[in-house]
Chains A and B, each alone.
Chain A
């Protein structure tokens, strides 16, 4: 596969690994946060941590837009799905996220019409072919996915569809990063920037991290070599005492982002004054809602959603895991009350949630893994 296989070459990985190790100051521990769930997934899927020296710890940040949706909003989505004549459409990732009374999956078992789609355009298609039904699209994701939702809404408007709407839960990454940087319990040395979000917003939005907090940022791609190269670039910055934003994923990420995409978002959506993030609390200007001009496509206006705030269960330590303060196994309920079959917190639900990724892929400690692979 082009542009994929070349960046999965194991030999080059050894070389990068050696270079990364060489840049580590003896006795110093490094904590690098990867903000993007896709990075977490790649790291575990390819066993990348085996290539890093013990001095470097990768911390998983809040880069999973499914993980950060609070239970109350999931309950709202379930209420929408239960409305008469509604077909709820959703990405696969959302199907197993549990609210207070179950997930889309559970509702489907009870007979609710919930369908999985790969693209918001599929949802539009369902609306066109089911004029007697009202189709709602569960819109989730960071700025990566928001433009696609936006274009879909614009298409719906152009076609004058009257049976299509979205339940908008798009969130923006920068306020979450800022919340983490301002958090007192954290000590990070650098960031791997979210590669695909950056294709939309570009690299400039991260400049404040380098400028105001003195931390280097490298916008990273998603193949294993992309991540290793990005870590190498971060280590170089640290070794040279620099704090800048660099773009490792230049083959895909334009420095200035995608103007057309940003325009589409701007035309159809606006920032909410604040939004609750699971485990991080309320963050201002961190989420999008549908603009008044497109009100007829806003499910929150067309239907009445309960809007009840459901506090995270006390035992849930998703917040600390999301902030990178705790590793998954350090959460008290990891593996006992909270498992992939019964995910209390959504860090366990989405396959790229830190806990699910660890449970599924990275369970063995490094020593045990090395023993097994040489036996």
Chain B
């Protein structure tokens, strides 16, 4: 459903009516299977043991929530006619686009896990393959530039898949008129980042497009790494009792970029956290068993990853606001702009799901590494409610952390 086309309201209402009819039919014929629904019609909700009688209104409330849950589980479809910025934000729209358009067309077992890298078997060796494009604006910002992002981002996708990164490709799309000195700067950053990460850029490509396209410089990379032994990381393996850790303060990169765009007239001592995490990951995997999954928290932020874990594994997640490290300046800028650091991109932070018994050891392993000094255990995986991420606020109340809808636009309200 898209609001972009004329008559979208009527279409939404028509879809609503259809859904109502299906529900009504399910009610009249309990037990009949309906496509797209997980359970037929409405059931009398059985009273939970020990819970008080539902208050008037809560039965209806639960029905509505069930309906929402079912809609969430329904097959994704892209109803927009055109791409919008939401499709690139890393949230719901991106996910739907990937599943409905790309996965649908390319479907194969290697693609389906939709993890950060694909895992292939080549002559008995596990190989990880990943690709990324970098379109950041501005190209140069406090803490790094597009070149740093390109190398570190690709290395990180390989690292969190449990692979030792080996080689990268780098394809450049350059805008007519782009200063060569800027290109030289970017390339120097890439080489320095590659050396730091212990990888080599072994092949590449160059294209030039007319003035007005490519915003100066776009970089696309692919990365190849070797999967060590029998490492089998994946978000779907998370289970109740697991601990969730982050390797450091969140939101640094995204806020840096927002401020660097210069439109918001805010000065702050914040810089991007772009960094190669392969050393940190190697330490973690080397010292701690029971690591279920690793993700680097890029577009969409930590909140998006938590939702991906909850959805993939069918588990609940409960994180504690107080435990999540956020730099005071990032918090200040976020408050000023009305954005939530949980949804803001990082470029050098990982989220780890670890067997609960190993949580403290994992924390120790992360903290022993320079890039993980401020690592923290931020929460646990729970059995209920499945697919839902909750946050225990600093204040003690609880709320849901939903998937991102659109870009985290600064609010004034």
Contacts and interface: CB of A to CB of B under 8 A. Distances in A.
Contact of B395 (A10, A41, A102, A115): A10
Given A91-B412, A108-B85, A335-B68, A329 B60 contact: yes
Nearest to B337: A118
Nearest to A337: B16
A369 B15 contact: no
Interface stretch (A164-172, A255-263, A266-274, A342-350): A342-350
B57 interface: yes
Given A108-B85, A363-B400, A372-B385, A313 B61 contact: no
B399 A47 contact: yes
A375 B13 contact: no
A362 B395 CA distance: 15
Contacts of A338: 12, 16
B402 to A, nearest CB: 5
Contacts, number: 208
Contacts of B263: 115, 117-118, 122
Contacts of B67: 335-336
A110 B3 contact: no
B264 interface: yes
A302 interface: no
Nearest to B322: A10
Nearest to B412: A91
B396 A360 contact: no
Interface in A63-111: 64, 66, 91-93, 95-96, 98, 100-103, 105-106, 108-110
Interface string A325-343: 0010110111111111111
A365 B52 CA distance: 13
A41 B413 contact: yes
Given A344-B12, A372-B390, A46 B399 contact: yes
Contacts of B1: 341-342
Interface residues of B, number: 70
Interface string B42-81: 0000001001101101101110110110010000000000
A92 B413 CA distance: 9
B83 interface: yes
B413 A93 contact: yes
B395 A373 contact: no
A98 B390 contact: no
Interface in A47-74: 47-51, 54, 64, 66
B406 interface: yes
Nearest to A225: B395
Nearest to A334: B64
Contact of A365 (B5, B58, B68): B58
Interface string A259-303: 000000000000000000000000000000000000000000000
Contacts of B54: 367
Contacts of A365: 58, 61-62, 65
A315 B11 CA distance: 12
A352 B413 contact: yes
A350 B413 contact: yes
A224 B384 CA distance: 27
Interface stretch (B140-148, B222-230, B327-335, B344-352): B327-335
B4 interface: yes
Determine which residue in B1, B51, B394, B400 has the highest number of CB atoms from chain A within 10 A of its CB, and name it: B400
Contacts of B15: 336-337
Interface in B358-413: 382-385, 388, 390, 392-400, 402, 405-406, 409-413
Contacts of B277: none
A72 B205 CA distance: 51
A364 interface: yes
Contacts of B210: none
Contacts of A145: 412
A158 interface: no
Given A13-B396, A224-B395, A373-B392, A344 B413 contact: no
A336 B21 CA distance: 12
A361 B398 CA distance: 9
Interface string B221-246: 00000000000000000000000000
8 closest cross-chain pairs (CB), A and B: A47-B397, A337-B16, A92-B409, A106-B4, A98-B3, A335-B68, A337-B12, A50-B397
19 contacts: A1-B328, A41-B413, A46-B394, A47-B395, A49-B397, A93-B411, A102-B8, A313-B9, A315-B16, A332-B16, A333-B13, A335-B68, A336-B67, A342-B8, A344-B9, A365-B61, A365-B62, A371-B384, A375-B318
Given A109-B83, A115-B263, 11 more contacts: A46-B393, A105-B406, A109-B4, A333-B16, A334-B64, A340-B405, A362-B399, A369-B398, A373-B392, A375-B382, A375-B384
Interface of A: 1, 4, 8, 10, 13-14, 37-38, 41, 44-51, 54, 64, 66, 91-93, 95-96, 98, 100-103, 105-106, 108-110, 115-118, 122, 141, 145, 224, 313, 315, 327, 329-330, 332-344, 350-352, 359-365, 367-369, 371-373, 375
